Chain A
Amino acid sequence: MKSRRAGPPPRRSGWVVVMSAFFIMGLTTGVFKNFGHFFLDIQCHFGVPTSTTSWVSSTTIAMFHLGAPVASMLVVQFSQRAVIIVGGLLTGSGMFLASLDLGLPWLYLTMGVLQGLGISLSWIPANSMVSHYFVRWRPIAYAIASSGECVFAVMFSPFFQWLIEVYSWQGALLIIGGLQLNLCVCGALMTPLETVQSPLQETKDSLEGDATALPPKRKVIFQCSLMRKPELFLYILFAIFSAPGFFIPPLFLVPFATSLGMDNYWPAFILSILALSDLAGRLICGWVSNMRLMRNLQLLAMVVTLLGVVLLLLPVCHNYWVIVVFTSLYGFLFGCVVSIHVTSIVDIVTLEGFDNALGLFMLFRSIGGFIGPPAAGWLVDETSDYSAAFYLSGLCPILSAVFVVLVDHLVQKRKAAEAEDCQVIRQEDWEEGKLK
């Protein structure tokens, strides 16, 4: 069945959307991943211990996740373009105000709250836009867009170092704030889809064809009914349990490597390997998932299980090269999970509920992200061994894979049921046609 939306965008502007999303993801998460460069200077400037300075990035993460449902509500109410532009203004102003250097609490407010909110208001609509614009090429489009995060994170690392050295950290924040205003430019490129509904290839939507033909469509701002769907509920559980597998290893890899006796140069190299294999994982997995060899959720379950297994095996190796191999495997699988887990949301709740579901997904994933690292840290302190952190972060994804399998099963059941209903309605129509 040919999927023709009313007024589909021409192919060229679709790829403009992907490039724009690439830049948006880079200018938001890529900048955030390099916050660490500022820590030493901020710490010296205010004379506070490391834990106090790290609250800045914790606040940013918190606002990013808490802002996610807000962003998705705004996207449904207004267009993605407007929300991204607002997000861009918030991030830019956050950095600009932070550069005024009016005290440490001021930094929490600007670099933490404003920046985090702005990042979330830009990142969520970018995801949403890519998912709405593409049907057949969605996995690979999303993979290319999300690779922006890796590419920019790697590029910005030496760039930020140089900026801080030449312009001091306040000057660097000012310039980065200006660069982040480019988010508004990217947002301006995201021409909103004026079409009414999602592609007709979803049989569920074709049943509601009459409803969608009534203009104007009433947009539900926040679909609480989404939460009652068992599929989404289980997927959110997956989000919570897989989060430790994402957030814990990057924090503990470098201390683990150092504890094995490697000196300072090698552990930093491990992080670069992680970033590069992450990039490779995202692109390759996006391409594989596009080939539609198996369902997205099946692929996701496989990849998440492998991720857990790799993490469980990581503490066993003590040789440097074996650790490098395992780290690159982990990075690759991490990239795979990232590239599939957002596009899978469309399979679960269809494009209609995607925006809200994404917001909920991010919000609940943050629970795992907040509990995970401190729990791992506590385990490491209790056992005086970094392996405990990796065992924890390996077991959780394996457990979450169970939820993915359940979700897949439920989604398949639902689709089978809908296909049956569709057959019944067609039968009735045909019979009606015969009578007329």
Chain B
Amino acid sequence: MHPNAVMLAVVLLGNLMLPFISAQNEPKINASDQIILSADSASKPVTLLCNLTTAQTPHTESFWMKNGLEIANTRTEQRNTAYRITKPRADDSGEYMCVYTFVMAPNANATIEVKAKPDITGHKRSENKNEGENAMLYCKSVGYPHPTWTWRKVDGTSYTDIDNSTGRFFITNRDNYTELNILNLDINTDPGRYECNATNMIGNNAETTILRVRSHLAPLWPFLGVLAEIIILVVIIVVYEKRKTPDDIIDDDEPVGQMKTNSTNNHKDKNIRQRNTK
């Protein structure tokens, strides 16, 4: 055989085998499949398994990470490592990784996705603002994958999309958070129930917030009512006293202004009487 041909064959074979060899050098991890948490399996515990099948160098230890952050108390030296979620909830969902560390090689990891329907954890039950002010409605959620948010207005059972013809509505969406800002509240069109809806590939969830707009003149009516009550009572008392006064001149016992001089004379007499008798 021609020596060049032999060299070419060796190079070709080497190239073909290189990925195979490097694959042989790379550690292999057997990881469990992705898990979808649903409402009915909420009480059943969930276990994520990782098994280091092949490795060139012995590994030092392994640990688990959730969404890029290490989970405490998961470091172990075993090849077979498991992470158990006893009562899985929506906020237990996320991207889990089992990571193996080596002495002379970079870390190896495998990803297991735990998916769940989004759960809305934070929202305002009601918001009361004055006419012309700005209102901010928000919703917070937990769950993976991150949901897409929509806002709607609810009238009993009918849903209407938010009409932004006036340009006063602004929606800001982030991974697990959404905000609906309404500027310059209008007392006629804006009050009502607003629903934030979080949807991901597993399912959706929604919560409503009631927005009330207070008019500037609203407290005036109760105030005038109380004022009327006070004036009526004062008039009644004044009239009652004026009508009582003529009767008092007859009665000795009633305390009256006009009686002042009389009563002081009596007072003096009584005093002298008391002194003399005792």
- Chain A residues with a Cβ under 8 A of chain B: 1, 4, 6-10, 99, 165-168, 170-172, 174-175, 177-179, 181-182, 184-185, 188-189, 191, 193-197, 200, 206, 209-210, 212-213, 215, 425-426, 429, 433
In the docked arrangement, what's the CA distance between A212 and B260, Å? Answer: 13
In contact, B230 and A185 (Cβ under 8 angstroms)? yes
Q: Provide the B85-119 mask, 1 if CB < 8 A to any CB of A, else 0.
A: 00000000000000000000000000000000000
Given A167-B214, A196-B267, verify A181-B226 contact (CB < 8 Å): yes
In the docked arrangement, what's the CA distance between A209 and B278, Å? Answer: 15
Residue of B nearest to A2 (CB): B274
Q: For B266, what are the chain A residues with a Cβ–Cβ distance below 8 Å?
A: 6
In contact, B226 and A175 (Cβ under 8 angstroms)? yes
A-B pairs with beta carbons under 8 Å apart, 29 shown: A6-B266, A7-B256, A7-B259, A7-B263, A99-B219, A167-B218, A167-B219, A167-B222, A168-B214, A171-B214, A172-B219, A174-B219, A175-B219, A178-B226, A182-B233, A184-B230, A185-B230, A188-B233, A194-B257, A194-B259, A194-B263, A195-B255, A196-B263, A196-B264, A197-B267, A200-B271, A209-B275, A213-B268, A213-B271
Q: For B259, what are the chain A residues with a Cβ–Cβ distance below 8 Å?
A: 7, 194
In contact, B263 and A8 (Cβ under 8 angstroms)? no
Residue of B nearest to A85 (CB): B234
Q: For B214, what are the chain A residues with a Cβ–Cβ distance below 8 Å?
A: 166-168, 171
In contact, B230 and A9 (Cβ under 8 angstroms)? no
Question: Does B261 interact with chain A (Cβ within 8 Å)?
Answer: yes
Q: Sort A-B residue pairs by CB-CB distance and give the 7 closest, nearest first.
A: A171-B219, A6-B263, A178-B226, A213-B268, A7-B255, A209-B271, A167-B219
Residue of A nearest to B278 (CB): A426
In contact, A174 and B223 (Cβ under 8 angstroms)? yes
In contact, B264 and A215 (Cβ under 8 angstroms)? yes
Question: Does B163 interact with chain A (Cβ within 8 Å)?
Answer: no
Q: For B276, what are the chain A residues with a Cβ–Cβ distance below 8 Å?
A: 429, 433
Given A175-B219, A175-B222, A195-B263, verify A189-B237 contact (CB < 8 Å): yes
For the complex with contacts A174-B219, A196-B264, 9 further pairs of A-B residues with Cβ separation under 8 Å are A7-B254, A10-B253, A10-B254, A167-B218, A177-B223, A184-B234, A194-B260, A196-B267, A206-B274
Q: For A191, what are the chain B residues with a Cβ–Cβ distance below 8 Å?
A: 241, 255
Q: For B237, what are the chain A residues with a Cβ–Cβ distance below 8 Å?
A: 185, 188-189
In contact, A8 and B253 (Cβ under 8 angstroms)? yes
Question: Does B130 interact with chain A (Cβ within 8 Å)?
Answer: yes
In contact, B233 and A185 (Cβ under 8 angstroms)? yes
Q: For A194, what are the chain B residues with a Cβ–Cβ distance below 8 Å?
A: 255-257, 259-260, 263
Q: Among the listed A7, A175, A213, which residue makes an inter-chain contact with B223, where contact means beta carbons less than 8 Å apart?
A: A175
Question: Does B227 interact with chain A (Cβ within 8 Å)?
Answer: yes
Q: For B56, what are the chain A residues with a Cβ–Cβ distance below 8 Å?
A: none
Question: Does B238 interact with chain A (Cβ within 8 Å)?
Answer: yes
Q: For B220, what are the chain A residues with a Cβ–Cβ distance below 8 Å?
A: 174
Question: Does B128 interact with chain A (Cβ within 8 Å)?
Answer: yes
In the docked arrangement, what's the CA distance between A6 and B253, Å? Answer: 8
In the docked arrangement, what's the CA distance between A8 and B214, Å? Answer: 53
Q: For A195, what are the chain B residues with a Cβ–Cβ distance below 8 Å?
A: 255, 263
- The interface centre, meaning the residue of A4, A177, A194 with most chain B CB atoms within 10 A of its CB, is A194
Question: Does B270 interact with chain A (Cβ within 8 Å)?
Answer: yes
Q: For B265, what are the chain A residues with a Cβ–Cβ distance below 8 Å?
A: 213
Q: Among the listed A170, A172, A182, A212, which residue makes an inter-chain contact with B267, where contact means beta carbons less than 8 Å apart?
A: A212
- In the assembled complex, the CB of B63 is this many whole angstroms from the nearest CB of chain A, namely 33
